[in-house]
Structure 1
């Protein structure tokens, strides 16, 4: 492992990185939030179905 080379490549990547605009950030946050909500709803629906199936969740 070549430490000076690795550090210089990390610095190069950080110099290329930029902060997102407010529109880009809000769009990514909405998409991520929608994904979290959908996964939660799916888990809840599976829980509800398993409660009606005999021998499901006790």
Structure 2
């Protein structure tokens, strides 16, 4: 019986297609309060030197 199930490719295609379709449906209909909040820390450094320019800027 297991060999018959493994040999049916259409069954597996339909199974995976339904799983992917439900995953996409669930992803698009998830509520915002279920998603985690990410608070990324930021560091700002201000130095004043007349006539100087910035060499690089990093934003993480």
TM-score (norm 1): 0.44
Which structure has the bigger radius of gyration?
2
- Greater helix share, structure number: 1
User: Greater RCO between the two (CA within 8 Å, min separation 6)?
Assistant: 2
How high is the TM-score relative to the length of structure 2?
Answer: 0.43
